[in-house]
């Protein structure tokens, strides 16, 4: 794809070879990249498979605006929670007649989003408390931080950040209101936790993760997106999901396990031979992880976990 390289990469895709390998059996079909971002995975797939077509979807208008032109690629703004509608908008086909050969979800946020202070995702950079991946998010982080009551903030930090000091942090935020920006929020969190908790990693890391998940309703989108993706897949179609924290990975693991209930074939068999009807065949018994070399090249890959599955039935 022709793209002028920006001074800083929009995003460095993770586990690219693994993604390409897993989609090889559907290389002549249509794959939906439901988290287009900087298009790195899509670029690798289009390069590897000359007959493949890709529909890219992203919530973020920046990702769509920066998408390169390519004769086998269409990119639209949309939420993968409503994947069918997004793909219908991209292809012009009737939503209820659509079927695709592959779906890729590379969850979370892109480096571009983290690195851009105006988006408000980073506790390292002063910026507005925004954290919306796109305009479809109902509330910004500022609205949550300054308007939610202490009980709701505590629930968000405990559930989506697995934050041990959720109550102390929520109460400190409520006392300090109005909170104006990300730097102020990071300082309030740091002051609210015991000194020992400040030593290992930045104390605001979990709180920022939790707010981001709440603002973008990320886990809800993932549950809906998985259902929509599995419904859209043709028999023999493949889904690949890369997650970055245990809350996401758990949802993927459970949905795949529920879909695979019935089939007892080992993951390395090319087709199901046990005959038990199952919606899915799991292709990764354990999640794939980046190699130490990949993590050294791209430290943001370190928490990535890839799971893949194939839709049951004859192609």
Ligand X SMILES: C[S@@+](CC[C@H](N)C(=O)[O-])C[C@H]1O[C@@H](n2cnc3c(N)ncnc32)[C@H](O)[C@@H]1O
Binding site for ligand X (CB under 6 A): 11, 13, 34-35, 37-41, 57-60, 63, 79-81, 106, 108-110, 133, 221
Coil/strand/helix, residue 33: strand
Distance CA 296, CA 298 (A): 6
CB of 9 within 8 A of CB of 219? no
The single-letter DSSP state of residue 12 is: -
Residue nearest ligand X by beta-carbon distance: 37
Distance CA 99, CA 234 (A): 6
Distance CA 231, CA 229 (A): 5
CB of 225 to ligand X, least distance (A): 6
CB of 46 to ligand X, least distance (A): 12
Closer residue to ligand X (CB): 35 or 203 = 35
Distance CA 188, CA 11 (A): 30
CB of 197 to ligand X, least distance (A): 28
Closer residue to ligand X (CB): 38 or 120 = 38
CB of 47 to ligand X, least distance (A): 13
> What backbone torsions phi and psi does residue 237 show, to the nearest 5 degrees?
-70, 160
For 31, the token pair is 């794959």
CB of 245 to ligand X, least distance (A): 12
CB of 107 to ligand X, least distance (A): 6
C-alpha angle with apex 85: 82 to 88, nearest 5 degrees? 145
CB atoms within 10 A of CB 140: 17
Of 276, 229, 291, 223, which is closest to residue 251 (Cα–Cα)? Answer: 223
Closer residue to ligand X (CB): 190 or 242 = 242
Closer residue to ligand X (CB): 133 or 226 = 133
Closer residue to ligand X (CB): 212 or 253 = 212
Closer residue to ligand X (CB): 137 or 263 = 137
Distance CA 273, CA 132 (A): 45
């Amino acid at each position: 794809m022709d793209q002028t390289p920006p001074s800083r990469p929009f995003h460095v895709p993770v586990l690219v070879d693994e993604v390409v390998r897993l989609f090889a059996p559907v290389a002549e079909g249509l794959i939906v990249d439901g988290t287009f971002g900087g298009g790195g995975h899509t670029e690798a797939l289009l390069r590897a498979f000359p007959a493949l077509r890709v529909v890219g979807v992203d919530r973020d208008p920046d990702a769509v605006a920066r998408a390169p032109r390519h004769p086998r690629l269409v990119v639209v703004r949309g939420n993968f929670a409503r994947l069918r509608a997004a793909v219908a908008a991209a292809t012009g086909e009737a939503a209820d007649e659509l079927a695709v050969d592959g779906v890729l979800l590379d969850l979370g946020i892109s480096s571009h989003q983290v690195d851009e202070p105006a988006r408000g995702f980073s506790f390292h950079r002063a910026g507005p408390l925004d954290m919306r991946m796109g305009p479809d998010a109902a509330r910004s982080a500022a609205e949550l931080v300054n308007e939610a009551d202490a009980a709701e903030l505590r629930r968000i930090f405990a559930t989506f950040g697995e934050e041990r000091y959720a109550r102390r942090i929520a109460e400190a935020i409520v006392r300090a209101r109005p909170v104006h920006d990300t730097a102020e929020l990071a300082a309030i969190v740091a002051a609210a936790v015991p000194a020992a908790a400040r030593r290992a990693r930045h104390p605001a890391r979990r709180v920022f993760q939790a707010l981001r998940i709440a603002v973008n309703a990320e886990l809800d989108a993932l549950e809906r997106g998985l259902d929509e993706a599995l419904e859209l897949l043709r028999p023999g179609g493949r889904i690949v999901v890369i997650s970055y924290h245990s809350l996401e990975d758990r949802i993927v693991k459970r949905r795949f396990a529920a879909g695979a209930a019935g089939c007892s074939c080992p993951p390395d068999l090319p087709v199901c031979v046990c005959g038990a009807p199952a919606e899915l065949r799991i292709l990764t018994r354990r999640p794939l992880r980046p190699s130490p070399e990949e993590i050294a090249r791209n430290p943001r890959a370190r928490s990535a976990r890839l799971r893949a599955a194939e839709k049951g039935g004859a192609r």
